[in-house]
Structure 1
Amino acid sequence: MKVSIITVVYNGAEHIRDCIESILNQTYADIEYIVVDGQSTDGTVDIVKSYGTRIARFISEPDKGLYDAMNKGIGLATGDVIGLLNADDFYRHDRVIDHVVATFQRSGSDAVYGDMLYVDRNDTNRLRRYWRSGWYSPNAFLWGWMPGHLSFFAKRQLYIQHGLFRLDLKSAADYELLLRFIHKNKAKLTYMDEVTIVMRDGGVSNKNVGNRLRANREDQLAWKLNGLTPYFFTLWLKPLRKISQYVTRPPHPPGSPVH
């Protein structure tokens, strides 16, 4: 089973080596690694090129933002399974893809997902949040559930059948895609009860009221675009579910070895 991993980056020279090394050091052999750069000007291109043919595909050109770049990477992918890993982030250990493939093979699922850690941007041993996705049950999206997007590995066939990221959405493009794949089109899921991704904190924030209201409107549009109707409380449960991520602790601290 070939796995395509896609990293999109723009001016990510500070951390992209950690991301690249976490993929190239995976014990699983059949990985196609694709990097899509938005024409960086900070040395990112030179860093990526320094890895030579260990990176299967590399393009550097202007794009229309994060999700346009992700769509380009998906279009280049030839693997049976596609995973996404942003330039600031890295895999929790070197057997993540081994575990992902074993889960696909054992379950026959369309997609596999796990848990994520958010850590301090400069000190990756300092935990900020622990996103424990938990097991999926039918209609879980109506109760504010969603898996961590970067922990989500999908068969390439899902993208072929159900489409790519919508570029008319900003903060909710990942939510809409997961809603479309899982809730609307009933993709068969399997949960990996382990942390797969470590993310540096510092993405688009919903901490202030204005950002949360804008995100809520986009989440609502995601349902409408798919011809779906949420409960009146669905879109407020979604951010409320995140509260537990700040108090729950993972079984292994961010800097500890995992076997």
Structure 2
Amino acid sequence: MACHVVSIITICFNNPKELEATLRSFEGLSSAIEVVVVDGSPGDACAAVAGSREGITYLHGRDTGKYDAMNKGLAVASGTSAIVINSGDRLVDAVRFSAVVDENRDILDSTIVYGDHLIEFPDIGFSRVSPRHPTLTGIRRGELPSHQAVLIPMRFYRANCYDDTMQYSADTKLMRTAFSQMPSKYLAEAFAVFSAGGISNMPGQWRGVIRHYREMCAARDLTRMEELGLLLRLLVRKTTQAAIGGRRLSNIQRQRAVLRERRS
């Protein structure tokens, strides 16, 4: 297996349009960066998109969910560091990202390197999210950067994987462990764009809200008061959704809701 400096893991499921946008944003990447696409779709729509591009490692088969798919991609990755940029998300600038990799290649096998990300809102534009430098308290609470803008050494992934029994919070759980165990370096520039077409990461049914809450608590080390505050925020968001009777949120409501979700 050829060795690369960085592996980008991209998972997809029946969303060829979003996968195409993501892979297009990778154009201009240096040869030091590999792209691994993990496709859990039953059909071949995403396969046609991935197959039209050279140099992609492509895996196609059933998985138990997004975290299982991420683990499958990481298992075949050859980079000394890895970043997860899923279909629908994209790099801000592939050439600049390649330069960041080259500038930090001497530390990527032992240090977490992370930056900002942008959230794209339809008809509004972009909102930049700059993560706080993780403190012990922040790590405990799960106040961590978005995985789309975090390069984690592969040596960590070889010993740790995403908890595929979770549906919502395995990335927080894994990054808490990573930032607790490894040194990190922050770069004040945006790596990736997260596309927000609605509150897609907010469970639609009350049963899902309770599961989301339990997972968020399990992925963090919260005090009882912090757990109650978290539950209150989830209930308020769900109640707001129910109150509008399934209608689309206004652009401003959607922007505020997604930003709160990304920061919680």
Range class of TM-score, shorter chain: 0.7 to 0.9
**Aligned mates of 1:103, 1:210 — CA distance in 2:** 44
The answer for unaligned runs of 5 or more in structure 2 is 235-254
Question: 1:25-44: CA deviations, max 9, x gaps?
Answer: 22x33111111101343621
CA contact (8 A) 1:16 1:44 kept: yes
The number of equivalent residue pairs is 232
**1:6 equivalent in alignment to 2:9:** yes
**1:230 equivalent in alignment to 2:228:** no
**Aligned mates of 1:106, 1:76 — CA distance in 2:** 22
Match of 1:74 in 2: 74
Cα separation, partners in 2 of 1:159 and 1:243, compared to 1, 3 Å: same
Cα separation, partners in 2 of 1:136 and 1:34, compared to 1, 3 Å: same
When structure 1 is superposed on structure 2, of 39-48 and 100-109 the one drifting more is 100-109
When structure 1 is superposed on structure 2, of 138-147 and 171-180 the one drifting more is 138-147
Cα separation, partners in 2 of 1:49 and 1:107, compared to 1, 3 Å: closer
**Aligned mates of 2:108, 2:11 — CA distance in 1:** 29
Match of 2:182 in 1: 187
Higher helix share: 2
CA contact (8 A) 1:130 1:246 kept: no
Q: Pick from 45, 60, 82 the counterpart of residue 43 of structure 1.
A: 45
Query: Normalization by structure 1: what TM-score?
Result: 0.77
CA contact (8 A) 1:132 1:245 kept: no
Query: Normalization by structure 2: what TM-score?
Result: 0.76
**Aligned mates of 2:142, 2:257 — CA distance in 1:** 13
How do 1:120-139 and structure 2 match up within 5 A?
120=121, 126-127=125-126, 129-139=127-137
The answer for unaligned runs of 5 or more in structure 1 is 224-228, 248-259
How do 1:128-207 and structure 2 match up within 5 A?
129-143=127-141, 145-161=143-159, 163-183=160-180, 186-202=181-197, 203-205=200-202
In structure 2, what residue type is equivalent to 1:192? Answer: L
**Aligned mates of 1:106, 1:82 — CA distance in 2:** 13
Question: 1:175-217: CA deviations, max 9, x gaps?
Answer: 111112223xx21111111111101114312699876554221
Pairwise CA RMSD? 3.0
Match of 1:254 in 2: none
